[in-house]
Amino acid sequence: MAAEELKSEANEYFKKQQYEKAIALYTQAIEIDGSNPILYGNRSFAHLRMESFGYALRDASKALELDRTYIKGYYRRASAYMSLGKFKLALKDYETVTKTRPGDKDARLKYQECQKVVKMMLFQKAIAVEEDSKSVAASIDLEAMVIEDDYSGPRLEDGKVTESFMEDLIHHYTQQKKLHRRYAYKILLDMKEYLKSLPSLVDIPVDNAEKFTVCGDIHGQFFDLLNIFRLNGRPGVANRYLFNGDFVDRGSFSVEVIFILFGYTLLFPGRFYMSRGNHESLTMNQMYGFQGEVKAKYTSQMVELFTEVFNYLPLCHCINGRVLVMHGGLFSSDNVTLDDLRKIDRNRQPPDEGLMCELLWSDPMPGQGRAPSKRGVGIQFGPDVTKRFLELNGLDYIVRSHEVKAEGYEVGHGGDCITVFSAPNYCDTMGNKGAFIIVNGKDLKPQFTTYEAVPHPPVKPMAYANSIFSLFS
């Protein structure tokens, strides 16, 4: 089949949002005609939709290497840069387009919007330097937050989360109502203090006959979170859960998701666990919707408080010393031990390299060894890397999340590396199932439950995202 025919077939799969098939066909076309910048540009766009920002960046750069006048190449590369938080580089690409096509209104708009983001980031960075030593939590005055007479929502009992409060809160949220700001702030303050007491690697003991559930990304899909509880039971002393990062962003009910998860953490400390994901970070929240949602439903001050709380989320958990659970994956070095993970100073924004970065961002790959990340952050690691890590640390297997899977989960690396993703029909477009894993303490053998997405109110994903995203397509 000729390259042009393959491209046309790939384009059809792209329109159907079957991006993996589109990428495979664009790749075949490139193997036939590697000098066509459009093929690289199209594959870059498909990688963007798959959130493989590193690959998208590589393809867009290759397209521009072949043809410096290929305008879509600049657009694609700028989108990849924006998604990776490299705002200045994105601005440079948009600036190139506006200079090349001064009459192009679309290019001018993209440039102006990107410029706003860069200015905002620089301003916030300057403020952060000035206020680095100040704790937002310390400035919160709960007593000044008067509960109005007409407020009929859930109320903390003596300042504490109770089971009846959680039942009321879930019902309240299904009615698309808001928790009073006084209680919302109290939960955040209590969460910060609780999380500060935890290590970066939390050990989880599970008794032989005890059931334990691991869930992956939720991404603000509140009604799908409730479906997990319908299928598997509400959290409780005898129904323990670990949610493995990326609770917020993308989906537009992230506030509801995070307060339900925080509420259960406070209600059942040591029985309900949360790991940090790559989206529990300031840059991600600024771009992918959580910051905008918190500002819309509460205040800018609460955004800052969330950042403080997220900084204390543990980075990984170890079940019975035999199963390590982290959001992203493994490391660029072979000699990493569990003790090394326990020693990580996590109270900060995720760095661009090192153990903390790789725990949050890395992905498995089928081939041996290591490779640069398809995301542009972290690494890709093969089955040999996983096997050596397990042997060094006396582990049975690892569980991670971070990637959409058609069935909601994937068993890779000969059973050594399991991916679980719990947000079905991700962003209302991907058509994937969601899944969770159940183990018992006796054998820790993973059992998988999969499910379809459930209906939600007519609020689209990314409704609160930075306006620059509406221009990417």
379-381 and 363-364 beta bridge pairing: parallel
Q: What is the radius of gyration, based on Cα positions, of the chain?
A: 23
- Beta carbons within 8 Å of 105's beta carbon, 6+ residues apart: none
Q: What's the per-residue H, E or C state across the chain? A: CCHHHHHHHHHHHHHCCCHHHHHHHHHHHHHHCCCCHHHHHHHHHHHHHCCCHHHHHHHHHHHHHHCCCCHHHHHHHHHHHHHCCCHHHHHHHHHHHHHHCCCCHHHHHHHHHHHHHHHHHHHHHHHHHHCCCCCCHHHCCHHHCCCCCCCCCCCCECCECCHHHHHHHHHHHHCCCCCCHHHHHHHHHHHHHHHHCCCCEEEECCCCCCEEEEECECCCCHHHHHHHHHHHCCCECCEEEEEECCCCCCCCCHHHHHHHHHHHHHHCCCCEEEECCCCCCHHHHHHHCHHHHHHHHCCHHHHHHHHHHHCCCCCEEEECCCEEEECCCCCCCCCCCHHHHHCCCCCCCCCCCCHHHHHHHCEECCCCCEEECCCCCCEEECHHHHHHHHHHHCCCEEEECCCCCCCCEEEEHHHCEEEEECCCCHHHCCCCCEEEEEEECCCCCCEEEEECCCCCCCCCCCCCCCHHHHHCC
Cβ contacts of residue 320 below 8 Å, gap of 6+? 204, 205, 206, 441, 444
In the numeric block, the tokens 């542009």 are attached to 376
Active site residues: 279
